Structure 1
């Protein structure tokens, strides 16, 4: 790499953009100028820690996977250690979760892959499968590289109830989407790969589970003691980046010397220069910024849609009795606005105190239900409390404190073919421009961290070869 000081612009201050900035700082020569542009008033994106009943309670993502696909630690755990937060990682209690079906809480069957069972005998009445449909047809379930909706594959093999009562609530808890619209290759990549060789869904699930290299006994999830905002702040500090808040980037233009960014209020925008750019923003702003420099990529990116959700946090009086669970999921067919609930202080023992509040966190809304969330905060809170009591089978006392966090257009809905569209978009990018984040590579903190780090590596390679 030439000794000339390099300037890199990271557009988007969520965890993908911050992970990219940290990786750039680690790999670029001392003195490299890294700027993170975040049009909002705070860094972190969907990572935001709030306060409830005197405790830190997440208003966004609450945890991350500890293991990667290769069996090693996930990109999120590795980043936390890089940032000096390895000793701050905490793990949930070993508490079961349930499904709320027909007014009853039923344990989630063990041994499923995101709700898709390998052994239909374990369903125990939760769903009535069509086992006869999963016959060996003499060929693999999917052609190499083929992508279908999760619901298309599972319905054809196990029947509607397995999708509606198991797969839909599991996917809904992560994506707020429906199995019949979500890409198998993005949401369950191990199953998609196994389906290219296996002839039955049962064998494909078993193959995917065997391929998982998770260390036995290792906790599946982790969080940061004190909240995810600690991870955000530590990443911003470690990156050494100049942080620009509250000023949107309106355009990115290629020049003979790199890239010009038009920033700030449209009547009197500022212009900044960069030698390379990483876009770590949602699909709509990414498509807008790509419009002039990579129109085909912009068109592919713009195809992604999003679901809106709301989170409700409740602080209940100390000693409030709740079912002996970490929480529950609700199938869409139950008709409730609440789609999931976490008994937060029971799930996270480092927050559970005998004389402290009992924290419950609920997620409301699914893809296509945006109009159902159009209630004022008081009405939405009342609806959540009522439905939570009915779904959990307990009479909830009046909360001593509460909050509502609305995430409009927050969760990507990956339609079949998403991965191919993203690959095509990246192939259309000019050198020195990289994409990162959930809009492209999937949800979850480890995925977003890894996406940001890959984008940074691409940019470093470009700068070294320039």
Structure 2
């Protein structure tokens, strides 16, 4: 059997690895990626002579996929947990504690927002259950429209936007309620009489489980293990130019004839490849837009007096160029032991790709200036590394869940083909692992 995996990001590499475990050593598994390396938006670079993740740097610890995969690969000792410190919010030109007990920054009680928003907004939130409220079960609007109407624009811009920006490199204006906060949509569909009641119903139960996890030596360790144990033939710098049906299988250029295909490509690439074999799925995938970002990693003198917090998230409308700061040496105990204090500074949101065109020198200068402003500490980098991520994250806009359902429905009839990727059911690493695994199982079942 000959199987092509198009896309060598985490979804594609997991698919290749799972195909090997399901089909055995005789299967010929090919992985093609248009980039000069595998890994997609996972990339372990080097800062101050030591490894540091310059793409995604954590995963949701309450999902089982990544720890289970690490155990399966014999990498369980690579699992690390954060120090448990809370981030700050930068809003109105000053730092605030991130409100606890919110749902993606959406409060369940007015008091949670006190100090972050003005008193009129606090009163507006408190009175929300008394105001008439209508929600249609098939509705899906952008997060901003819902939150600004019921709780006020300040809540959307100062509390919700910083969190959505960290997950999607977007904002409440570009992200849909159903895709970003599905438990809230479910509570509203179930008949919650107000947004306040819906948030309270949607909040997860209290848990002592760490919210995040990480990999001690970076995601590069996981990528290398998946590549090796998949036994796949990996071809980089090789965009796939054509996907077509053939008798009993598929034709995938540049590979030629194959028995089955996993498309683990970004939504626009998936749309292009499916255009002739499934126009409906292609049209749905083409409706998913991408956002870009830039990460600047700074190595500072070890004893730089940074805040004792995991990071600083930036509200919409602030006079900063950066959108977030990860105080990596504060967040991760294993990084705190290094000779330098490490900070990641993030730029870029949906609709603003300007940082991609800035020079490395300008990005490092701006990162240091913005970090100095939010910390009040002189910043004198010992070293810096820049990584650009054009089109790195899918935007889960209103109607996203319908688009995904259409893609999955339209491709279900394509024998021996499966789709996977961060544009489907979650941009986080656990969701991508689950996506690649499911795609591999579907293909393996079809082949058997």
Normalising by the residue count of structure 2, what TM-score does the alignment of the two structures yield? Answer: 0.94
Q: Residues 367-421 of structure 1, C-alpha deviation per residue, up to 9 Å, x if partnerless?
A: 111135432111121111111111222221x211101111111111121111111
Match of 1:370 among 335, 350, 353: 353
Cα distance in 2 between the residues matched to 1:196 and 1:379: 48
1:441 — aligned with what?
A: 425
1:232 — aligned with what?
A: 223
Cα distance in 2 between the residues matched to 1:408 and 1:246: 16
Cα distance in 1 between the residues matched to 2:91 and 2:126: 25
2:78 — aligned with what?
A: 88
**Secondary structure of 2:141's partner?**
coil
Residues 11-50 of structure 1: pairs in structure 2 closer than 5 A:
11-50=6-45
Q: Contact 2:290 / 2:395 at 8 angstroms: preserved in 1?
A: yes
Aligned structure 1 segments of 4 or more residues deviating by more than 3 angstroms: 136-142
Structure 1 position 109 matched with structure 2 position 91 = no
Match of 1:60 among 50, 55, 60: 55
Cα distance in 1 between the residues matched to 2:223 and 2:154: 40
Structure 1 position 155 matched with structure 2 position 148 = yes
**Secondary structure of 2:294's partner?**
strand
Q: Contact 1:306 / 1:409 at 8 angstroms: preserved in 2?
A: yes
In the TM superposition, what is the alpha-carbon distance from 1:283 to its structure 2 partner? 1.4
In the TM superposition, what is the alpha-carbon distance from 1:137 to its structure 2 partner? 6.9
In the TM superposition, what is the alpha-carbon distance from 1:140 to its structure 2 partner? 6.8
2:370 — aligned with what?
A: 387
Q: Which runs of 5+ in 2 are unaligned?
A: none
Cα distance in 1 between the residues matched to 2:24 and 2:134: 49
Match of 1:9 among 4, 8, 19: 4
Cα distance in 2 between the residues matched to 1:200 and 1:109: 21
In the TM superposition, what is the alpha-carbon distance from 1:19 to its structure 2 partner? 1.2
Q: Which runs of 5+ in 1 are unaligned?
A: 1-5, 69-73, 264-270
Cα distance in 2 between the residues matched to 1:442 and 1:453: 14
Match of 2:400 among 418, 430, 454: 418
**Secondary structure of 1:440's partner?**
coil
Cα distance in 1 between the residues matched to 2:210 and 2:400: 31
Q: Residues 338-361 of structure 1, C-alpha deviation per residue, up to 9 Å, x if partnerless?
A: 0100111111111213x7111111
Q: Contact 1:47 / 1:228 at 8 angstroms: preserved in 2?
A: yes
Q: Contact 1:133 / 1:156 at 8 angstroms: preserved in 2?
A: no
Cα distance in 1 between the residues matched to 2:25 and 2:139: 45
Q: Which moved more, 1:440-449 or 1:197-206?
A: 197-206
Normalising by the residue count of structure 1, what TM-score does the alignment of the two structures yield? Answer: 0.91
Q: Contact 1:55 / 1:351 at 8 angstroms: preserved in 2?
A: no
2:259 — aligned with what?
A: 275
In the TM superposition, what is the alpha-carbon distance from 1:441 to its structure 2 partner? 2.1
Number of matched residues? 441
Q: Residues 421-443 of structure 1, C-alpha deviation per residue, up to 9 Å, x if partnerless?
A: 12112222222211100122221
Cα distance in 1 between the residues matched to 2:151 and 2:389: 34
2:391 — aligned with what?
A: 409
In the TM superposition, what is the alpha-carbon distance from 1:114 to its structure 2 partner? 0.9
Cα distance in 2 between the residues matched to 1:173 and 1:446: 16
1:323 — aligned with what?
A: 307
**Secondary structure of 1:62's partner?**
coil
1:451 — aligned with what?
A: 435
Cα distance in 1 between the residues matched to 2:245 and 2:356: 41
**Secondary structure of 1:105's partner?**
strand
Q: Residues 323-342 of structure 1, C-alpha deviation per residue, up to 9 Å, x if partnerless?
A: 12111100121032201001
In the TM superposition, what is the alpha-carbon distance from 1:136 to its structure 2 partner? 5.9
Match of 1:177 among 155, 158, 170: 170
Q: Contact 2:347 / 2:355 at 8 angstroms: preserved in 1?
A: no
Match of 1:122 among 112, 124, 144: 112
**Secondary structure of 2:381's partner?**
coil
